[in-house]
Amino acid sequence: MFYNNSILIQLKKKFKKKNVRIEGIVKKSEKGFGFLETDSKNSYFIPPKKIKKVMHGDKIIAKIGFSKDRQIVIPEKLIDSFLKIFIGRLQKINQQLFIIPNYAFLKEYIPCTFLINQISDFKSGDWFIAKLTKHKLDDDLFHAELIKFIAKKEDPFTPWWITLSKYDLKKEEPKINIDNISFINSNKRLDLTDLSFITIDNNNTKDIDDALFIRKISNNFELIVAISDTTSFIHVNSELDEIASKRAFTNYLPGFNVPMLPRILSEDLCSLKPHKKRPVLACKMIISETGEIKKNSKFFLAWIQSKEKLSYKNVSDWLENKSNWLPSTENIIQQLKFLHQLCISRIKWRKKYALIFPERLEYKFHLSSNGEVLRISNDTRRIGHKIVEECMISANLTAAKLLSQKDGFGLYNNHSGFDESSAKQISLLLEKNNIFLTSKEILTLRGFRTLYKILRKKKYKYLSSRIRKFQSFSEFSFNPNPHYALGFKKYATWTSPIRKYGDIINHRFLKSMILNETPIAVKKNTLKKISSQKRKHRLSEREIEDLLYIQYFQKNDFKNEILKSEIIDISRGGIRAKLLDTGANIFIPNSYIHNIRSELELNTEEGLVYINNKIFYKISDIIFVQIKDIRMDTKSIIAKIIKN
C-alpha cells in the first residue's frame, strides 16, 4: 500500500540525489537478519545478500537506499572490525580449515591458516586464539590466522582455558629455574620459634601466609600477626618480581587456583607450614578488652614455627560446641580462647566506631575430577573465619597508620563512598523515608557510617539495596584516603603477599622502615596493572561460575521445583534475581511476571514492579520461581514467578 505513496517517493528522490551515507554498528539477530544502528538509535535494514559482507558488531559506513517499499542500507566501508584477536573453534571441512568465533551472534565459518607447525595434531572442535587478517568489505573474503592453541575439544576444563585466554590470564603456575630462587636474611630477625603460633585456614589450603599468637597482659591482649616474608625471596626487579607484578594476584577459580608465584614458593618455602621454621614480617599490637588498638604497635622481622595448622570448620565447631574435635595441646586451647575473646571485642568495636556489613551467604562449587558440578553448597562465615578476619583487619589498619606517617609510603585501599550528585539523590530518598541526613553529611566518613548503621535495620532492606547502587568502587592508590565501606580513615593490606602483589609492595615499604633503608621506587604503571588484573580476575571467575551454573541446571532437572530467590535488579525487560540455595542468577522476562503486558510497569530507577498501578515486587523481595528455560548461548537461566 506504500508503493505509490507520495511522501515515500519524495524521500527516495531526496536520498538518491544526495547519495546519503551513514555510520553505525551492525547488529544481527539470532535468525540472521541484519540492521545498522546509529548513535541516534535509528535502525536500518541490511538486505540478506549484503549482510554477508559484514559481521555483528562491525562499525561501518553504509549508503542509504530503497528496495521496493522499504528503506535499506548498503555496507560500503569498514571503519572498525568487531573481530580482531578472538577465540574460536576449529572446523575441518573437506580438508579446508575454518574458525568459528566464540560469540553468540557470530555464526561465520572463517577460512583460516596456521601460524604454528602442528596442523596434523589438531582436529575439529579444538580451540584457538585467532587473528582476523582479511575482511569482506576490504578484500571480498574473511580470513584468519591461528596464533595460539588453547585446548583440545575433549579437555573437560576447556571452558576454564577459554575464559582465561579471553582475559589474557595465565592458566598455569609461573615457570622458573629453582636455582634462581635465593633467600636474603636480615640480622635484625628475632627468633620467636618457641611461641605457640597457629594457622587457621581451609583444610586444603597450601599457600598459608598468616599465623597468629596471642597472650593476655594485664587487661590487654598482645596479638602478633606473622605474615610470610616473601620479599626475602622475591628481590626487586628480579625475574620473580617481574612475574609477580604482571600476574598481580593468585587467581582462585572453581576447582583450582592459578598461583601468582611458583608453587615451590607459594606452597612450600613461603608457606607457614606446621613445624617448619619460616621467615616472617610481624606486627605486634596491644588491644584492650574493649577492642581498641593501642598506639604502641610495632613491626619487626622474625622467625616462627607454626605449632599446628587448624581448619576453620574444626575451630568453629569447637568454639560453638558442635563437635568432638579437640585442640591437640593446652597451649593451643588457650590461644583459641583468647583469639575468640579478641574477635568478639573487635567486632563490637568496629560496629561502634567503624562499619560491619550484613553477613551474606557464600557459595562453593564441588567438582568432580573432570570438572562436572556435583553439588553447590552455601554457608555463612563462621567464628573461625571471623577470628582470622578481625586479626588481619587489625593488622592492615595498623600498617596504614604507620605507612601514612611518611609521604610516598604505602599502597592503600580507598573507597570514596558516593559522589556529589549521588549524595543529593540519596538525601532526597532518605527524606522520603523520614531519615534526615544532608548530602554534605553523607559525603563525610562520619555521615557514611551513620547512614549505614541506620540502614542495618531490617525495615530498610529495600532502601539499602537502592542506595548501594550509588556506591563507588574501591580502588588502589598511593595516597592514604578513607575507606568508607569499612569505615576507616585509611586502610592498607599487607597480609597476603603470597597471593597479592600489592601486599608485596607494602612489605617492602614496611621493611624499609624497620631496617631504616630507602625503599625502591614503585614503577609508574604498577597501579594500573594491579587494578586491571583485579578486574580481569573478577570477570573470569564470574564467567566460569555462570557456565557451571548452566551445566548444573541442565544436568539436574529443576523445572518442577519451586525455588526461593531474592530480587537483585529490575530492568525494562524483566527481573534479575538470585537463587538463594545455589547463588545462581536468573532472569524473569516480562511475560513470566504478568501475562497482560499493558498492565505491567517496571520502574528501573526505583527498583519497583507495578501491576495495575500497584506495587507488586521490589528489589530485595524474596520471591518463589520455577525454571522455564536454560539458554547456553547467552548463559542465562530463565524463570517464572510462582504466585503463592
Which residues participate in catalysis according to the annotation? Answer: 201, 207, 209-210, 312, 499
**Which among 627, 633, 609 is positioned nearest to 619, based on CA atoms?**
609
What single letter denotes the amino acid at residue 243? I
Measured distance CA(355)–CA(415) in Å, rounded: 13
487 contacts: CB under 8 Å, gap ≥ 6: 350, 353, 354, 355, 445, 448, 449
Q: Which residue shows C-alpha cell 608457606?
A: 271
Burial pattern 618-644, b for ≥16 Cβ within 10 A else e, equals: bbbbebebebeebeeeeebbbbebeee
Helix (H) or strand (E) holding 345: helix 330-353
In three-state secondary structure terms, 636 is strand
Measured distance CA(602)–CA(227) in Å, rounded: 51
Q: Are 566 and 556 in contact (CB under 8 A)?
A: no
Q: Give the cell for residue 579.
A: 537463587
The beta strands (E) that lie in 442-482 are given as 475-477
Helix (H) or strand (E) holding 144: strand 143-151
**Which among 176, 200, 172 is positioned nearest to 257, based on CA atoms?**
172
Q: How far apart are the first and last CA of the chain?
A: 50
The beta strands (E) that lie in 527-573 are given as 563-571
Q: Are 110 and 99 in contact (CB under 8 A)?
A: yes
How many C-beta atoms surround the C-beta of residue 455 within 10 A?
20
**Which among 60, 65, 69, 64 is positioned nearest to 27, based on CA atoms?**
60
Measured distance CA(509)–CA(247) in Å, rounded: 20
What single letter denotes the amino acid at residue 628? K
Measured distance CA(218)–CA(200) in Å, rounded: 26
Measured distance CA(496)–CA(389) in Å, rounded: 12
Q: Give the cell for residue 34.
A: 541484519
Number of helices and strands in the chain (H, E): 15, 31
Measured distance CA(316)–CA(326) in Å, rounded: 11
Backbone angles phi, psi at 492, to 5 degrees: -140, 125
Helix, strand, coil share (%) of the chain residues, nearest 5: 30, 30, 40
The DSSP call for residue 74 is E
Q: Give the cell for residue 70.
A: 522499504
Measured distance CA(304)–CA(302) in Å, rounded: 6
Q: Which residue shows C-alpha cell 540472521?
A: 32
Q: Give the cell for residue 145.
A: 590466522
Q: Cα separations (Å) of 608 from 424, 548, 570, 613?
A: 21, 30, 7, 11
Q: Are 476 and 500 in contact (CB under 8 A)?
A: no
C-alpha angle with apex 402: 400 to 404, nearest 5 degrees? 65
